[in-house]
Structure 1
Amino acid sequence: MMMYALLQQPATGGPAWIQFVFIGGMALMFYFLLIRPQSKARKEMEARLSKLKAGDEVVLTSGLYATIDRVEDKHIWLKLGGSVVKARRAAVAALANEPESQN
C-alpha cells in the first residue's frame, strides 16, 4: 500500500521558470541557426535577381548557362545558343562569373 502511494506522487523537477528559460534558449538557437541564415540568403538572392540586366551571363537552376536578352517584371528572355526563350527570374541560380559558394 505504501509503495502504491509513493508511485502516485507527482515528481518535482525544480522551479518552473527553469523550464521556460530552457524553452526560450531552444527558440533562440532555432532562430539563429535556421531562420536567420535562410532569410539572409533569400534577401541576398532577391537583391541579385533585381539587378539582372541584358547581357549578363547566368546559370539557371537546371545547370544551363545562358545570356540575358531582355528583362521584364517577373520574366527574363534568355539566349540559349541560337534561340531566345522566356523564363522566370526565379530560374536564375547565380551569375556565371560569380565564384561558387563552398557550402
Structure 2
Amino acid sequence: MNLLTFLFMAPPAEGGSDSGFTSLIFMGAIFVVFYFFIIRPQSKRQKEIQQKVSEMKKGDKVVTSSGIIGILNTIEDDSVLVEVGNNVKIRFLKTAITDVNPNKPAKKEK
C-alpha cells in the first residue's frame, strides 16, 4: 500500500460529537471577549462623544476627525463654525467632531 491509500482508509478521529460542542464553546468565549474588550468600550466612548457634542457651546475647544483643533464660533442645526486661527473659520458637520474640551482654556492668539 502506498501512503495515499493508507491516509484515505484511516478511521475518523474519535470524539466527533464532543469536538463540535467544544468548538461552539470556544467561539462563544471569543465573542464574549470581543464584546467586553472591543465593542462595549467603543460604544460607551461614542455615547460620551455624542453627549459632549450635544452640550457644546460657543467658546469650547474642539477636535475634529481630521485632527483640526479650534474654538467654536457658531453652532447651527447640523454644522458648526470653528475658528482655527486669526479670522480663519472653517465649517464642519457636527458628526466630524471627535472631542470637546470645555474645561481646557481656549487661548486666542494675537
TM-score by length of 1: 0.72
The 5-angstrom pairing of residues 1-103 of structure 1 reads 4=6, 7-13=9-15, 15=18, 16-80=20-84, 81-96=86-101, 97=104
Structure 1 residue 47: Cα displacement? 1.0
Q: Which has the higher contact order (CA 8 A, sep 6+)?
A: 2
- Give the SS at the match of 1:55: coil
Q: For residues 23 and 32 of structure 2, what CA distance do their matches in structure 1 show?
A: 14
Structure 1 outlier segments of 4+, above 4 Å: none
Which deviations, in whole Å up to 9, do the C-alpha atoms of 1:14-67 show, x marking residues without a partner?
613222211111111111121111111111111111111112222334444322
Select between 30-39 and 80-89 the one with higher mean Cα deviation. Answer: 80-89
Instruction: Point out where structure 1 has 5 or more consecutive residues left out of the alignment.
Output: 99-103
| Identical-residue share of aligned pairs (%) | 30
Number of equivalences:
97
- Give the SS at the match of 1:9: coil
TM-score by length of 2: 0.68
| 1:33 partner letter | F
Instruction: Point out where structure 2 has 5 or more consecutive residues left out of the alignment.
Output: 106-110
| 2:77 partner letter | D
